[in-house]
Amino acid sequence: MSYDVNAIFQIAGIGIVLAIIHTVLKQMGREEISNWVTLIGFVIILFLVINYLSDLFQEIKRVFLFR
């Protein structure tokens, strides 16, 4: 479970790309689509975070010999 800072950069990168896409679509008058893109991006990031939290809890269980 050695993650470095790659996870942080990955989440930040996705957030920056989503912010740019959201802004461009909103300027084009496609607010509904931009909201959907933002929602889908949020779900993707949520799955990433849930995966990292799952790994963290598995490591905690391993350290304290619960498994």
- DSSP output for 25-51: HHHTT-HHHHHHHHHHHHHHHHHHHHH
In a domain, 37, yes or no: yes
In a domain, 1, yes or no: no
Please report, for residues 2, 6, 16, 31, the alpha-carbon distance to residue 12 in angstroms, rounded to integers and kept in the order given.
19, 10, 6, 23
Task: Say what the pTM is.
Answer: 0.75
Per-residue pLDDT of the chain (67 residues; tens, 9 = 90+): 555 788 889 999 999 999 999 999 999 999 999 999 999 999 999 999 999 899 888 888 888 886 5
Domain count, the chain: 1
In a domain, 41, yes or no: yes
Range of the domain at 31: 6-63
